[in-house]
């Protein structure tokens, strides 16, 4: 199964929820999805198209467009196609359904995205900070308008 048939199968199954599909090469697809359907699409990808390997999940901040993109990079153990799904969230209140029930290893990726970008994952089993100390929660250091660097990081040393 090549990239083209996969994307056809996906768009016929989820009409209207997948848009802006671009096939970059034989093994790379980028598509945008509606945030509320991400979990269903991931379930379909895993069960029907053997996309069983979540490479990573992270966010990109676009202050100019007032948007945060949550990006899912999903690969497979059986075929070389890597699918990039993007869900666009409003920057003031980014909330999205967690995909942990589908991809178990999304747990830490979502915890990290939460503490670094402030994306709230609904129904996540354990949404705690992973790499940052608790008192830095709410500063969202990987957003583009974060001004704390480097003063905040040296705070504890003085």
Partner 1 sequence: MDNTVGPSEMIVHLGPQHPMMPGPFRLNAKLRGETVVDSEVEMGYIHKGIEKILESKTYLQGITIVDRICYLAALTNEEAYVGCVEKLAGIEVPQRAQYIRVIMEELSRIQSHLLGMGEYASFVGFVSMFMYTIKEREDVMSIMDSVTGARVTHSFLRFGGVKDDLPEGLKEDVKHVFANLRKAIDSYEDMYSTDTIYKGRTVGIGVLQAEAAKDIGVSGPPLRATGVAFDIRKAEPYLVYKDLDFKVCTQTAGDVFARVQVRLDEMRESMYIIEQCLDQIPNGPLFPEGTAYGRRSPVMRVPAGEVFHRVEDPRGEMGFYMVSDGSDKPYRVKIRGPVYPTLQTLPPLLKGVNVADIVAIAGSMDTCTSEVDR
Contacting positions for partner 1 (CB under 8 A): 27-28, 30, 52-56, 58, 60-61, 71, 73, 77, 80, 82, 84, 103-105, 107-109, 129-133, 141-142, 149, 153
Q: Which residue's CB is nearer to partner 1, number 19 or number 108?
A: 108
Are 44 and 15 in contact, with CB atoms under 8 Å apart?
no
The CB-of-12 to partner 1 minimum distance in angstroms stands at 25
Q: Which residue's CB is nearer to partner 1, number 55 or number 127?
A: 55
The CB-of-37 to partner 1 minimum distance in angstroms stands at 21
Q: Which residue's CB is nearer to partner 1, number 17 or number 132?
A: 132
Q: Which residue's CB is nearer to partner 1, number 26 or number 36?
A: 26
Q: Which residue's CB is nearer to partner 1, number 36 or number 62?
A: 62
Long-range Cβ contact pairs of 139-144 (< 8 A, separation 24 or more)? 140/115, 140/116, 141/116, 142/59, 142/61, 142/116, 142/117, 143/61, 143/63, 143/117, 143/118, 144/61, 144/62, 144/63
Calculate ∠ Cα 73-77-81, nearest 5°. Answer: 50
The CB-of-99 to partner 1 minimum distance in angstroms stands at 12
Are 34 and 42 in contact, with CB atoms under 8 Å apart?
no
The CB-of-82 to partner 1 minimum distance in angstroms stands at 6
Cα(60)–Cα(71) distance, integer angstroms: 8
The CB-of-5 to partner 1 minimum distance in angstroms stands at 19
């Amino acid at each position: 199964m090549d990239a083209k048939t996969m994307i056809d199968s996906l768009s016929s199954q989820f009409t209207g929820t997948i848009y802006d599909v671009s096939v970059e090469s034989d093994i790379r697809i980028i598509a945008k999805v509606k945030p509320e359907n991400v979990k269903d699409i991931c379930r379909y990808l895993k069960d029907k198209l053997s996309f069983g390997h979540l490479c990573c999940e992270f966010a990109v901040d676009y202050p100019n467009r007032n948007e945060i993109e949550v990006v899912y990079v999903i690969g497979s153990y059986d075929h070389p196609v890597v699918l990039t799904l993007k869900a666009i969230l409003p920057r003031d209140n980014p909330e999205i359904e967690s995909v942990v029930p589908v991809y178990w290893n999304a747990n830490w990726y979502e915890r990290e995205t939460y503490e670094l970008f402030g994306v709230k994952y609904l129904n996540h089993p354990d949404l705690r900070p992973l790499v940052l100390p608790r008192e830095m929660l709410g500063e969202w250091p990987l957003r583009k308008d974060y001004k704390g660097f480097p003063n905040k990081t040296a705070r504890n040393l003085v």
